[in-house]
Amino acid sequence: MITAKIISIGDELLIGQVINTNASWIAEQLNLIGIKVVEILTIEDDSASIKDAISMAIAQNQIVISTGGLGPTKDDITKQTLASLFNSKLVLNNTILEANIKIFASRNLELTELNKKQAEVPENCEIIENTCGTAAGMWFNTDLGCLISLPGVPYEMKIMMEQKVIPRLKEKYKKQVIIHKTIMTSGLGESFLSERISSWEDNLPKNFKLAYLPQPGILRLRLTAVGEDERKLSTKVDEEINKLSSIIPELIYSYQDESIEESVYKVLRSKELTISTAESCTGGEIARRIVSIPGSSEVFKGAIVAYNNEAKQNLLNVSEEVLYSYGAVSEECVREMAIGAQKLLKTDYSIAVSGIAGPSGGTEKKAVGTVWIAVATPKDIISKKFLFGDNRERNILRASIAALDLLRKVLINNI
């Protein structure tokens, strides 16, 4: 198996000022071509640390990719350090110099002395051209593994990876096949779901691996299979996923890595249906999730966030009697809210949510975390009670996802 290690260089990553998105992106790209990333290491802009980390990584992996420390300022020392580590010296590269002069000219600037140094590179490496910036990439081949050094600026690094590094690695390491499949579920927590599918999981082939990736209200399952024959492996993966589907059909909302709102949006759009929401405790979260999808205006007309009782009465036409007899967090109330939004916004469907997000507001009969959800359809209203936890933010997220999931089930007649 071809393995790789990613080394991210930069003090800003170690004080938490910048989140290391480069490493995850590179890991994903390598994974897609069958190269397994076994470690990601973040280190300081410090010569000894860089030398140690890279020497050790090259001894243990065929591929080492480092990012960062290639800028023109004093804190960037990767290039000098690599020259020393690989027993080389920095020499002026005219191709890079000319490219950098051009970049500066296009911004009406002249190259400073500091920037001229960007064209100096170790004599014994191959250059990876940077079409968007002044820091060239470097490729060192050794008897052990190779080191690919790239700039830390995400969009420069990405273009260099996509256009230069990945095609070359693909060519160099004809690989084994790795297939990842993501199964999106909602409605059951990690431990319960794992119990329901335990016999399936235990009987997975040895070259298969299952990972549970929880988010509030959502549980992603990732099935990874490693093999040699792509077609055979793919068939086997499909078989296993079919088995899984028959065990938890109502919990799976998608077979690709997408949010529940994207999944619902696709169904609505394909059926040319419209939707509105009437929200109390979720405060607009459901609407906001739908609106995050480009093109959502095709299906989404609007929302009423009726946060107090007065707004529920005046805007959504919830009756005083319902509020008085059953309260705002009740089946009766969410049903009237759903009808109210559906009528006002003239949509085919509507979702209504009312609950106690907490931390206060709970009573003996209605605990914090109690949430009523209703979905109005052109013919009918479906309503359901949920009991979440005591964390306000999580309750808002879980209620929103449960509401979208209820709508999804209604739409595919799974309820």
| Residues between 222 and 261 with contacts to a copy of itself, criterion CB under 8 A | 222, 224, 257
Please tell me whether residue 63 binds a copy of itself under the rule CB under 8 A.
Answer: no
Please tell me whether residue 403 binds a copy of itself under the rule CB under 8 A.
Answer: no
Distance between CA atoms of residues 150 and 23, nearest Å: 12
Distance between CA atoms of residues 1 and 212, nearest Å: 24
The dihedral formed by the CA atoms of 65, 69, 72 and 75, expressed in degrees to the nearest 10: -170
Per CB under 8 A, contacts with a copy of itself among 196-225 are: 201, 209-214, 222, 224
Question: Least distance from C-beta 47 to a copy of itself, angstroms?
Answer: 14
Site string for a copy of itself, 287-326 (x = CB under 8 A): xx-xxx-xxxx--xxxxxxxxx-xx--xx-----------
Site string for a copy of itself, 116-155 (x = CB under 8 A): ----------------x-x------------------x-x
Of 117 and 266, CB closest to a copy of itself? 117
Q: Among 146, 148, 175, which Cα is nearest to 34's? A: 175
Asked whether 79 and 70 are in contact (CB, 8 A), the reply is: yes
Q: How many residues does the chain have?
A: 415
Contact window for a copy of itself (CB under 8 A) among 23-31, 86-94, 165-173, 244-252: 23-31
Among 183, 369, 381, 408, binds a copy of itself (CB under 8 A): 369
Instruction: Find where tokens 């028959």 sit.
Output: 246
Q: ∠ at Cα 206 (201, 210), nearest 5°?
A: 40
215 DSSP assignment: E
Among 60, 179, 283, 326, binds a copy of itself (CB under 8 A): 283
Contact window for a copy of itself (CB under 8 A) among 80-88, 109-117, 119-127, 405-413: 109-117
Asked whether 170 and 33 are in contact (CB, 8 A), the reply is: yes
Per CB under 8 A, contacts with a copy of itself among 327-366 are: 344-346, 357-360
Instruction: Find where tokens 């930069």 sit.
Output: 10
- Longest Cα–Cα distance of the chain, Å, equals 85
# chain residues binding a copy of itself, by CB under 8 A: 112
Asked whether 193 and 156 are in contact (CB, 8 A), the reply is: no
Question: Least distance from C-beta 72 to a copy of itself, angstroms?
Answer: 5
Neighbour count for residue 306 (Cβ, 10 Å): 23
Please tell me whether residue 106 binds a copy of itself under the rule CB under 8 A.
Answer: yes
Please tell me whether residue 87 binds a copy of itself under the rule CB under 8 A.
Answer: no
